């Protein structure tokens, strides 16, 4: 799975939200710095070439839909980030967020409970 540019990722989030959309519908969802219609159309076609979206043709227009789920992309993105920034260690990642005060002790206990519940199911 290829890495997406920030703009491609933004467009994918719109397509995940809408499920199926024509370029004009994607355009309507962009709140800041709307690209030109042709630019947006090119970005969507690039996403198709990269294997993230496909389309249904309706005459000369195309309705695009994601073929990579948000969950698939999230998993790939997180694994890459953890490998690249935390030496492939989830412990390092969690301790980073704890040090940055982005996660509380209560949230960590909640995560621990989730892990323990998963282990009991096995």
Residue 100 confidence (pLDDT)? 87
Tell me the per-residue pLDDT of 56-103, one tens digit each, with 9 for 90 and over.
999 999 999 999 999 999 998 888 889 999 999 988 988 898 888 888
> H or E element: which one contains 32?
none
pLDDT at 86: 92
CB 34 within 8 A of CB 25: no
pLDDT at 115: 87
For the segment 14-29, what is each residue's pLDDT rounded down to a tens digit? 999 999 999 999 999 9
Q: What is the pTM of this model?
A: 0.77
Residue 1 binned pLDDT confidence (cut-offs 50, 70, 90) = low
**Alpha helix stretches (DSSP H) within 50-69:** none
Question: What are the pLDDT digits (tens) for 39-58?
Answer: 999 999 999 999 999 999 99
Which of 9, 10, 14 lies closest to 24, judged by CA? Answer: 14
77-96 as b/e: b if 16+ CB within 10 A: eeeeeeeeeeeeeeeebeee
In DSSP terms, 65 is beta-bridged to 54
């Amino acid at each position: 799975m290829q890495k997406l540019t920030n703009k491609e990722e933004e467009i994918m989030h719109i397509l995940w939200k809408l499920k199926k959309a024509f370029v004009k519908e994607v355009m309507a969802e962009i709140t800041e710095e709307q690209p030109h219609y042709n630019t947006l159309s090119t970005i969507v076609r690039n996403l198709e070439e990269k294997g993230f979206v496909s389309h249904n043709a309706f005459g000369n227009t195309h309705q695009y839909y994601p073929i990579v789920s948000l969950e698939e992309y999230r998993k790939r993105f997180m694994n890459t980030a953890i490998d690249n920034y935390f030496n492939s260690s989830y412990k390092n990642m969690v301790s980073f967020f704890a040090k940055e005060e982005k996660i509380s002790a209560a949230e960590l206990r909640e995560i621990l409970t989730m892990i323990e519940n998963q282990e009991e199911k096995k």
